[in-house]
């Protein structure tokens, strides 16, 4: 029966009439018609014998995925029990189950805070810029890498782009401080050499949206660049050769061939990123501004706000409530964006 299934799939994949005739001439087997294939799917594919055959055939792959499934269950699903802390007045000595219920008071504390609008606005705006600017810059860098013909240079630039991604935000903050230090920083030294006054970078919030966006792109864009470059390497070069023969220039090949073929990867990365749009990179917003209070109007985000409230007030319930709020909003955004993509082009949807 598996042989019939494979033959059926081959026939469905678009075998030519001449190929079917050749098959009948060589083997005497007549390819099944559409009605037979439908009956076969209904009566055999869902049967126990088919499930046993599939399990036996994929047993090795299932065993390989077992450690990942166990890890995901232990570290992602079991901790979901702690979500109830968001609805409790958590007391350490009483434990999670022994602490009294608080209803929605933990959520009220966050939403009635005077800074809730500022931290929410900063979180959404920063992540929106990070997503779209990151995808654009990564795509441009990937296209530039694809145009390089020498493999040695490609490896060099890949390493140069990817190296910052592995650096800790602690190290990045030290590098940034070496540039922005008011007295001995590299930038202020250059300004003084040009006869200009030094800038107190850590005392002026207006500069930091640009600084944070630049540092995020510098650190994170290499990962997406490698992903897009891998996608470009999977495109058949004959597409570009045919377009070049037809007289298409490099820009036309990019917009007519490259970008449409990379669209599924771009859409999947964007949908996944939208699920984290209510989350801020705590390491970046904590380390780069050096916890300077004067910069909070433009550097305060939800995660940093929860951290400060947890340290100052020791309120575990409020921090759990905000984490639950971020997860729910992220889930809603993923579902909405995937629904929109499904309506526009079902082939590019995430699920």
| Residue 95 included in any domain | no
Residue 268, in any domain of the structure: yes
Residues 126 and 15 in one domain: no
| Residues 36 and 185 reside in one and the same domain | no
> How many domains does the chain contain in total?
2
For position 83, what pLDDT does the model report? 87
Residue 101's DSSP bridge partners are 88
* 272 part of a folded domain: yes
Question: Is 97 part of any domain?
Answer: no
Instruction: Please indicate, yes or no, if residue 149 is contained in any of the structural domains.
Output: yes
From residue 124, alpha-carbon distances to 117, 121, 154, 326, 350 in Å are: 11, 5, 35, 11, 22
Tell me how far apart the alpha carbons of residues 126 and 278 are, in angstroms, rounded to a whole number: 10
Q: Specify if 76 maps to a domain.
A: no
Share the mean pLDDT of the chain: 83
Assigned token pair, 346: 């079902």
CA distances for 7 relative to 20, 143, 232, 233, angstroms: 11, 40, 32, 31
Give strand pairing partners of 91.
95
Q: Does residue 224 lie within any of the structural domains? A: yes
d(CA 219, CA 161): 8
CA pair distance 213, 205, nearest whole angstrom? 14
Q: What is the pLDDT of residues 272-300, one digit of tens each?
A: 888 888 888 899 999 999 988 899 999 99
Q: Is residue 282 located within the same domain as residue 151?
A: yes
For position 123, which CATH number holds?
A: 1.10.3720.10
More confident site: 53 or 154: 154
In the chain, the N- to C-terminal Cα span, in Å, equals: 30
Indicate if 44 and 117 belong to the same structural domain: no
Does residue 342 contact residue 335 with C-beta atoms inside 8 Å?
A: no
pLDDT confidence bin for 125, thresholds 50/70/90 = very high
How many other C-beta atoms lie within 10 A of the C-beta of residue 131?
17
pTM over cut 0.85: no
50 shares a domain with 141: no
**Residue 113 covered by a domain:** yes
Q: CA–CA separation, 121 vs 222, rounded Å?
A: 27
Judge if 111 and 37 occupy the same domain.
Answer: no
> Which candidate, 131, 347, 348, 138, places its Cα nearest to that of 228?
138
Reported as a single tens digit per residue, the pLDDT across 170-207 is 999 999 999 999 888 999 999 999 988 999 999 999 99
CB 138 within 8 A of CB 273: no
Residue 9: per-residue pLDDT = 43
Mean pLDDT of 214-238: 90
Do both 241 and 324 map to the same domain? yes
User: CA 7, CA 20: separation in Å to the nearest integer?
Assistant: 11
Task: Tell me how far apart the alpha carbons of residues 225 and 229 are, in angstroms, rounded to a whole number.
Answer: 6
C-alpha distance from residue 134 to each of 15, 156, 189 (Å)? 43, 21, 30
Q: Give residue 76's Cα distance to chain centre.
A: 17
Do 111 and 53 belong to one domain? no
Q: Are residues 45 and 174 in the same domain?
A: no
Decide if pLDDT at 22 tops 80. Answer: no
Is there a single domain that holds both residue 11 and residue 157?
Answer: no
Q: What is the dihedral of CA 244, 245, 247, 248, to 10 degrees?
A: -30
> What pLDDT shows up at residue 17?
43
Domain boundary (57, 76, 96) is at: 57
Q: Are residues 193 and 135 in the same domain?
A: yes
Q: What pLDDT is attached to residue 189?
A: 92
Report residue 216 CA to chain centroid gap: 14
Domain that holds residue 317: 105-348
- Quick one: pLDDT at residue 33? 59
Note the pLDDT of residue 319: 84
pLDDT digits (tens, 9 = 90+) for 254-271: 888 888 898 888 888 888
Domain identity same for 335 and 207: yes
């Amino acid at each position: 029966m598996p042989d019939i299934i494979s033959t059926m799939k081959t026939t469905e994949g678009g075998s030519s009439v001449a190929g079917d005739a050749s098959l009948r001439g060589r083997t005497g087997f007549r390819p099944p018609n559409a009605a037979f294939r439908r009956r076969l799917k209904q009566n055999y594919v869902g049967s126990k014998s088919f499930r046993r055959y599939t399990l036996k055939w994929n047993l090795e792959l299932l065993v390989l995925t077992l450690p990942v499934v166990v890890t995901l269950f232990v570290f992602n699903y079991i901790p979901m029990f702690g979500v109830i802390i968001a609805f409790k007045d958590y007391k350490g000595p009483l434990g999670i189950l022994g602490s009294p219920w608080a209803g929605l008071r933990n959520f009220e504390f966050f939403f009635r805070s005077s800074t809730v609008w500022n931290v929410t606005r900063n979180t959404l705006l920063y992540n929106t810029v990070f997503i779209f600017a990151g995808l654009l810059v990564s795509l441009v860098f990937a296209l530039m890498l694809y145009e390089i013909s020498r493999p040695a240079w490609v490896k060099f630039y890949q390493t140069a782009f990817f190296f910052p991604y592995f650096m800790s935000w602690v190290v990045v903050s030290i590098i940034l401080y070496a540039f922005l230090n008011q007295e001995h920083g590299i930038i202020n030294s250059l300004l003084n050499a040009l006869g200009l006054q030094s800038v107190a970078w850590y005392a002026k919030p207006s500069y930091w949206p640009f600084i944070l966006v630049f540092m995020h792109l510098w650190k994170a864009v290499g990962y997406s660049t490698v992903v897009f470059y891998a996608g470009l390497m999977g495109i058949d070069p004959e597409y570009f050769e045919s377009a070049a023969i037809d007289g298409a220039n490099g820009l036309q090949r990019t917009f007519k061939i490259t970008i449409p073929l990379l669209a599924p990867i771009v859409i999947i990365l964007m949908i996944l990123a939208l699920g984290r749009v209510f989350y801020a990179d705590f390491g970046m917003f904590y380390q780069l501004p050096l916890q300077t209070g004067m910069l909070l109007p433009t550097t305060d985000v939800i995660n940093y706000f929860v951290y400060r409230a947890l340290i100052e007030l020791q309120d575990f319930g409020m921090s759990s409530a905000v984490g639950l709020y971020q997860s729910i909003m992220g889930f809603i955004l993923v579902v909405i964006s995937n629904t929109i993509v499904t309506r526009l082009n079902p082939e590019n949807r995430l699920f």
